Amino acid sequence: MKKEELKTFLDEKVLQYNHPTFLDTDPIQIPHSFSLKEDIEISGFLTATIAWGNRKSIITNAKKMMTLLDDSPYDFIMNYEEDDLARFDEFKHRTFNGEDLKFFIKSLRNIYLNHGGLEAVFEKYIINDSLQPSITAFKKVFFEMPHPTRTTKHVSDPLKGSAAKRINMFLRWMVRDASTGVDFGIWKKISSSALSCPLDVHSGNVARKLGLLTRKQNDAKALKELDLNLKNLDPNDPSKYDFALFGLGVFEKF
């Protein structure tokens, strides 16, 4: 398939799947239940953190997290007392448990109190119009407080070879414009051109079939290759093709 044909094909799939009906089965519906900027980004970050495995289970457990946060995540994080954290003891999603969640809550408070919030941390460390260095820097900030060793595995690091699928998905949610009613576009200081496509087994397999990716592993090197090819199709908004690749893989079994 020639470049022009491929772009036309994928642009059509973006229009098909970058649509409010996408929310019905996707974890992004969780932050869509909030209107305050900080609630949207905190609920989005926590939801993206557990976004692996069965999507129904992800949505169910993300809703449980929000209930435990009194359906007001920013207010809870900024005003909780130590005794309030006991309610998270029994929480579990696959390998992410109550101990992990309690540290996430403590670290998020630290980020909002001492680093200007989530957007400020990611915006500060962009290099060469890429958010991948920001993800590495964010992990350092996130774990600057004393923390359980086990919890570090729940925040990926591109510098250590990870494609960081869940954080890249979260960043897409926050940065891409809200014109279609799917992503939020609430982070105004970061350009969509700096985003990377969330790379997982579905998007990776479709990308290989379309000639957008040759590397077999879904890792940081593969993401760099995919980013280059997607920016060749749309340098201003390469991550929009996540909708096309994911939709083709999950819904169409391409």
The three-state secondary structure class of 130 is: strand
7 pLDDT higher than 90: yes
**Cross-strand bridge partners of residue 190:** none
Whole-structure pTM value:
0.96
254 pLDDT higher than 90: no
What would the pLDDT profile of 103-148 be if each residue is shown by its tens digit?
999 999 999 999 999 999 999 999 999 999 999 999 999 999 999 9
- Per the listing, tokens 């001492």 go with 114
pLDDT-wise least confident of 21-25, 29-33, 71-75: 21-25
What would the pLDDT profile of 157-185 be if each residue is shown by its tens digit?
999 999 999 999 999 999 999 999 999 99
34 pLDDT higher than 80: yes
Tokens of 249: 């893989």
The three-state secondary structure class of 93 is: strand
3 pLDDT higher than 80: yes
* pLDDT for the residue 2: 87
The three-state secondary structure class of 127 is: strand
pLDDT band for position 1 (50/70/90)?
A: confident
Tokens of 134: 């920001």
What would the pLDDT profile of 194-251 be if each residue is shown by its tens digit?
999 999 999 999 999 999 999 999 999 999 999 999 999 999 999 999 999 999 998 8
Residue range 35-55: mean pLDDT, rounded = 96
Q: Tell me which residue of 174, 194, 140 sits closest to 28, measured CA to CA.
A: 174
User: Are residues 227 and 203 in contact, defined by beta-carbon separation less than 8 angstroms?
Assistant: no
The phi, psi pair for 130, rounded to 5°, reads: -135, 140
Q: Where are the alpha helices (DSSP H) in 69-97?
A: 73-79
75 pLDDT higher than 90: yes
98 pLDDT higher than 80: yes
How far is 243 from 240, CA to CA, in rounded Å?
6
**Cross-strand bridge partners of residue 92:** 97
For the chain, percent of residues with pLDDT exceeding 70: 100
**Cross-strand bridge partners of residue 81:** none
Q: Tell me which residue of 198, 184, 174, 194 sits closest to 236, measured CA to CA.
A: 194
- Per the listing, tokens 């946060």 go with 69
* pLDDT for the residue 67: 98
